[in-house]
Amino acid sequence: MCITVKLMKKTIIRISAIVLAVTVVLLIVFISSCNKRGSEKEANVKKSTYDEVIVSTDSKAIEHSPNVNGMRFSSTLEEFTILYNEARRNMGDNDLIMMGNWRKHGNETADSNGVKIQYYYYDDENTNFTATVEVESGKLLNIGFGTTMRYYMAQTQNEINSETVLEKAALMAQTACKYETGKIDALKNIFRKTTVDSNDTIWFQGCVYKLDTQEDKNDSKNSIMLFRIFPVSENLKSEWGLKEYVAEATN
């Protein structure tokens, strides 16, 4: 009888030890799981900042619109500004643009389809941005980067200004179209072709790349050059007879 009681006590003690050990293990797993979920939640919160949400967006850069071109960019002027600055930082350049420095140019007007639009401009040293925004949606219809012929043809600090202008115009296009990085050289080539071809309007992946000029009759070097990009519907591509960009082989 005593032996049986002693054996039962030993068995109970062993079972209690096993239960305690299992409980401890489960508690450790539970705590680790909570910490992991907490870390994941914290990571998700970090990814939810305004800049990162825009940068990582999977939405299409171009969408349909009732405007005269039938299409618009999916970014607002503010979103474009944030993305453009982020791209400049990634290139190691702090030559940023400030949202507060965009200015309205004239009053609201309407295109031939009755869509209300507002023009904006951004003056910078020797260069400027232009933008056209749909009033109701707040989305960009087109975006441009311009300078004078004098500045474009000149050289600053052993660097030809035309390359700097083309690079900023290309970065502008990359930002508006939300292309992945690495498109700069190709986009520079498109804008460069608008300066040398008789046709100053080129179509590429749903967008028109165009060089607009405003001649200064008193001094041609003060003539304005404006590199613009804007999306158009497929039927307008055919109707306007737009020339499609074809990448040229390089040695």
Report pLDDT for 59.
53
Domain ranges of the chain: 1-48, 61-244
Report pLDDT for 192.
94
- C-alpha distances (whole Å) from 94 to each of 20, 48, 76, 179, 243 are 60, 24, 22, 21, 35
Q: pTM of the entire structure?
A: 0.74
pLDDT digits (tens, 9 = 90+) for 188-219: 999 999 998 667 899 999 999 999 999 988 88
For the chain, the straight-line distance linking the first and the last C-alpha, in angstroms and rounded, comes to 99
Return d(Cα 245, Cα 251) in angstroms, integer.
19
Residues of the chain with pLDDT under 70: 1-59, 197-198, 248-251
Q: Which string of b and e fits 37-51 if b means at least 16 CB within 10 Å?
A: eeeeeeeeeeeeeee
Report pLDDT for 200.
86
Return d(Cα 164, Cα 23) in angstroms, integer.
66
- Angle, CA of 113, 128 and 71, to the nearest 5°: 25
Q: Are 111 and 70 in contact (CB under 8 A)?
A: no
Report pLDDT for 95.
84
Report pLDDT for 228.
97
